[in-house]
Amino acid sequence: MNRLIELEKFCTKTGIYCFKSHKFGPYGYALLNQIKNEWLKFNLNKYSSNYLIDDIDLLNENKSNFDLSSFLEKLSNFGSQSQLIGLVSTFNSAEAKESFFHGNKNQTKLSTIYLNFNSDDHFSAWQRERLQWWSKIAHYPEHILIEKPYLIYHYDQTEIRNKIEKIIMIDNFENLVNFKNYKKIKNLVISETNCETILENILIDSVQFSDDFKLKENLSKYGINVGDKTFFNLDFRLAPFKICLLYDPQVKELAEDFRKLFYFKTKHKIILFELKDDLADLEAKYDHVDLMGIPYSVYLPKSITKDGICKLRNRDTTISEETHLNLVIQQFNSIVNALSF
Bridge partners (DSSP) of residue 163 are 153
Contacts of residue 296, defined as CB under 8 A and 6 or more positions apart, other chains included, come to 242, 243, 244, 312, 313, 314, 315, 332, 335
Top-confidence range, 184-188, 218-222, 261-265: 261-265
Measured from the Cβ of residue 95, the count of other Cβ atoms closer than 10 Å reads 9
- How confident is residue 138, by pLDDT bands cut at 50, 70 and 90? confident
Mean pLDDT of 119-140: 77
**Digit-coded pLDDT (tens) for 163-203:** 888 887 766 555 544 444 445 556 677 788 888 989 988 88
Q: With left for phi above 0 and alpha for psi between -120 and 50, is residue 223 left, alpha or beta?
A: left
How far, in Å, CA of 84 to CA of 315, rounded? 40
CA distance 42 to 214: 36
Which parts of the chain fold into alpha helices (H)?
Answer: 3-14, 26-46, 68-73, 122-133, 195-206, 215-219, 252-266, 279-292, 304-307, 325-338
**C-alpha separations of 144 from 127, 318, 333 in Å:** 12, 28, 30
- pTM across the whole model: 0.81
Task: Round to whole Å and give the CA distance between 107 and 96.
Answer: 5
Rounded percentage of the chain residues whose pLDDT exceeds 90: 26
Assess contact for 151 and 123: CB atoms under 8 A: no
